[in-house]
Structure 1
């Protein structure tokens, strides 16, 4: 019964408060925005350095900085007044984001920016800073680990006379056959390879084989060629 009365008193007090920022001092406001900005810039830097897509979008990367700051502002606003928090939830519920996000990693960066903004707006700076450092270090490590064995598509056009030698070399490299097409007397072979430290000397060896017309090596991210 006492808890119920306390909730009613708290609700009435919150409703009667007209000043939305009564509970936020200027120092807290500036500090939260500063932390949100710095973390947003850190996300911006990590995204720029670890991006492995086809076309890098500077404008899209800028949204992470703004998203972190705006989220911090929202959290500071709704934390001062129950009525404002209910109104903010209602307003945000009608927002629809229709921009297609093709890369799952981009969604992860969005959640990172929102989470950091929430922690900064709630003045839990240790969580925001340490959590962002851990996430950034994890992304950097996973990205560099992936680069150590980068996937490539080897595309070879050759005549029938070179088929056995080409197959022998592909098997030796532990390549995975993706496609093979024959047009007249020319065969096109597409093989996925894992290459360490950008060692592409074998391309010249394939090109030197008798009967090989041309060789192409294309960077490959698992979904599409770049």
Structure 2
């Protein structure tokens, strides 16, 4: 009986120890938040400089700074208690974000902010700082590289009299047909093509053709017209 009671006491003591909170010093807390803020601002700067999407959103960029700080707060909180950390994992697993992410690079920045916040909250400052520098320099280097040719969309509105000449010139440009809309007296043709060194003189050539009403050339990244 004594052995059974002793065993129960051990179990109770273990559970109580698991539920005990450990204090986070003011120095560690301030340092973690400072590192999280600094890394978050670095992410903010890289996103603003290297953004290549359609419409830049300042508010969306600010969320990366806040996400880094909040993640560090969560990690510092759950590190004080094992039971609390398990409960926090269960609570966060039911959270669903409904905001549509249009640019895949935005997901990269989200994971970057969360990872940096985890490292800062766990007091692994070298990982947060050095890792963020490597990621930031990689993004900057990749976005600054210029391709030999850039994709564009060429949109033509022309009458039937210009049909043959337009087709002949399109074939010479190795363009890819995207859409063609035929109305009673007017045809709308949209093709994708690549241009080297921003040579857009052919737009004037198309516009000078008899029967061509208007010519539009827009930058194209495969998904959005810019």
Q: TM-score normalised to the size of structure 2? A: 0.82
Cross-structure match for 1:3:
none
1:199-223 deviation digits (Å, cap 9, x = unpaired): 3222122212233211001222322
Across the aligned residues of Structure 1 and Structure 2, the Cα RMSD in angstroms comes to 2.6
Query: Is 1:201 aligned to residue 201 of structure 2?
Result: yes
Q: Which moved more, 1:66-75 or 1:197-206?
A: 197-206
Distance 2:206 2:94 in 1: 59
Structure 1: 5+ residue stretches without partners: 1-6
Displacement, 1:65? 0.4
Q: Quick one: distance in 2 between partners of 1:69 and 1:160?
A: 62
TM-score between the two structures when normalised by the length of structure 1: 0.82
Matches within 5 A, 1:90-101: 90-101=90-101
Tell me, yes or no, if the aligned pair for 2:36 and 2:68 is still in contact at 8 Å: yes
Distance 1:149 1:209, change over 3 A: same
Determine which structure has more spread, i.e. the larger CA radius of gyration: 2
Count of residues in Structure 1 that have an aligned counterpart in Structure 2: 217
Unpaired runs of at least 5, structure 2: 1-10
Map 1:1-226 → 2, pairs under 5 A:
12-17=16-21, 20=22, 22=23, 24-145=24-145, 149-226=149-226
Q: 1:142-189: per-residue Cα shift (whole Å, max 9, x none)?
A: 333466533211011223333333223222322111122322343222
Q: Deviation at 1:67? A: 0.4
CA contact (8 A) 2:20 2:81 kept: no
Change (3 A) 1:195 1:9: farther
Secondary structure of 1:213's counterpart equals strand
